[in-house]
Amino acid sequence: MKGTTQVIDKLNALLSDEVTAISQYMVHSEMCANWGYGRLHEAVEKRAMDEMKHAEMLIARILFLEGAPIAKAHGLEIGADVPGQLKNDWDAEAGAIKAYNEAIAVCVAQGDNGSRALLESILKDEEDHIDWLEAQKDQIGQMGLQIFLGQQVG
């Protein structure tokens, strides 16, 4: 099925964002593992895998629409410490939520309800990711960074 250029362009832009997110989360995950924060490492690694699934779904949709998947990772924002990582990941997720909402609007305008439905399901995952990040930041604020990090060991 031939898709519109507008929708395929949006899907490719989202694909590039997902590739960037995968890389950023994998770096943060490995940094946490290196510091001995095993629980945080596993949680961040799981988010990277979620982003990989999003990328796979986007690629499949682009191919279905007879487009060419184009993924270009752009600037990673690597945090030097856990609070910096959480901030940078929150910024990335906030940007993703905005981008998915904009892409959904394009799909609606182009009458592509299949792509709209796909993007809405990914948007829900991105909202779950930002909710998790906010919970971590709230825990740091309530118990202090040292106690929070102590709970991440293992």
Q: Is 111 exposed, middle or buried (0-12, 13-18, 19+ CB in 10 A)?
A: exposed
Q: Which residues contact 10 (CB under 8 A, 6 or more apart)?
A: 102, 103, 106, 107
**Count of Cβ atoms closer than 10 Å to residue 153 Cβ:** 11
Cα(16)–Cα(23) distance, rounded to whole angstroms? 11
The predicted model scores a pTM of 0.95
Q: From the first residue on, what is the mean pLDDT of each consecutive set of 10 residues in the chain (154 residues)?
A: 96 98 98 98 98 98 98 94 98 97 98 98 98 98 98 94
pLDDT value at position 1? 87
pLDDT value at position 40? 98
Cα(16)–Cα(19) distance, rounded to whole angstroms? 5
**Count of Cβ atoms closer than 10 Å to residue 63 Cβ:** 12
Q: Which of 56, 63, 76 is nearest to 15 (CA)?
A: 56
pLDDT value at position 154? 85
Cα(106)–Cα(100) distance, rounded to whole angstroms? 10
Give the domains, in start order, of the chain with CATH numbers.
Answer: 5-152 (1.20.1260.10)
pLDDT value at position 15? 98
pLDDT value at position 102? 98
Cα(110)–Cα(77) distance, rounded to whole angstroms? 33
pLDDT value at position 6? 98
